[in-house]
Amino acid sequence: MSSILLPKQSSSPKPSASAPRNERLDSLTGLRFLAAFAVFVHHFTGVSASGGVAHAPLLFPYSTMGVYGVGFFFVLSGFLLAWGHRAGTPARVFYWRRAGRILPLHIAATIPCVWVFHLWGGVPWDLPSFLASLVLVQAWFPGVVPMFPGNGVSWTLSVEVFFYLLFPLVIRGAYRLRTRTLLALAAAGLIAMWAVNWWAAAHLSPFHCEWLMRHPLARLPEFGLGLALALAVGRGLRVPGRPALLAAAFAAYAVVYVHRGDWLPGAVADQLSWSVRPVVAVFSVLVIAAYVQRERAGRRGWLCTPVMVRLGAWSYAFYLLHQTVNRLVIDHWGRPAPSDLSLFTLLGVAAAVTALSWAAYRYVEEPARRWWMRHQPT
């Protein structure tokens, strides 16, 4: 979660053995915090007036779009892994480094979560499901209890683990493909993602449909899109787009999406529902490309300020801890009546989670990472 190293841009669009490395790009670190904060806001305001910690009419229902922050993480993960990859790195070294990045803090964050949700909060669970969450395979199987056992938000880590297992194999093949082929495969993956969602909605129960769309295979196109873009940009591809215009376009899309049931015919509204993940993935990859190109051209913005870089470094801890704090607040004080004054509660809880995230980063995540690196296999 610290500063990100990225490779220099190649002038040749032809396939290469690897993407050369470059100076760090802090804007992507800052973007990580924005995505984590979007997920937090969604969980805080809930999916309805009776959900979440507190309902703020000024934010809701637009805050529900924050759930798609996890899709941004999947795209960014594929981008960063491919962009910073060194050809010839043994798979065992890659796996060791990834484990050192995610496991120590994941295990540490699970301890208070189990107490708050299961021991104190009474949320039902069983031992096999908890163990599945601990080793990060819970999203691979449909029978876990509840759907998000252990630390519920760690389902995204189980998706990432699947990506990590595939990456050393996939990247070798990706290097041999031409840029056009990579981008065509990425586009085909997004179309398949939309088609699977459409099929699942028509043939599966709501529970199994929801589970399928969280399965690592169903989220693989997002990861693949980020990977393809990293190689394409490293080979010299220029992606048009300005962050401000992309933000405005996404805001307009979000307004239409959350009001689709009221504004659009049923068939069109359904298609928007089934295509939202691929659409968010496209927005994500365009935003990533825009900031990569801007910063490498020497234009550093507010995302590169020390505050945003620090928040980005703490974003993994922020993501893992925020739902535990949310549940603690609900259990202690209950849900207030819907009011825009809940925005102040949201900011207060966010500040508390941020403080805890700093402590977790400084005293758990970074010391564990340094220890892990000292014991890296040769």
pLDDT digits (tens, 9 = 90+) for 46-75: 988 778 999 899 999 999 999 999 999 999
d(CA 366, CA 269): 45
Q: Which of 44, 80, 92 is nearest to 64 (CA)?
A: 44
pLDDT of residue 3: 38
**Is residue 97 within 8 Å of residue 369, measured between CB atoms?**
no
Res 143: pLDDT: 78
The whole-number pLDDT of residue 126 equals 86
pLDDT of amino acid 11: 37
Low-confidence ranges of the chain (pLDDT < 70): 1-23
For residues 135 and 118, give the distance between their C-alpha atoms in angstroms, rounded to a whole number.
Answer: 18
Check residue 23 and give its pLDDT.
53
Selection from 109, 43, 61, 72 nearest residue 346 by Cα: 43
Closest of 121, 160, 118, 117 to residue 138, by C-alpha: 160
In the chain, domain spans: 5-374
Asked if residues 338 and 56 have their Cβ atoms less than 8 Å apart, the reply is yes
Greatest alpha-carbon span in the chain: 59
What number of CA atoms fall less than 13 Å from residue 82's CA on the CB side? 31
Q: What is the pLDDT of residues 270-309, one digit of tens each?
A: 999 999 999 999 999 999 999 999 998 888 889 999 999 9
pLDDT at 9 (0 to 100): 39
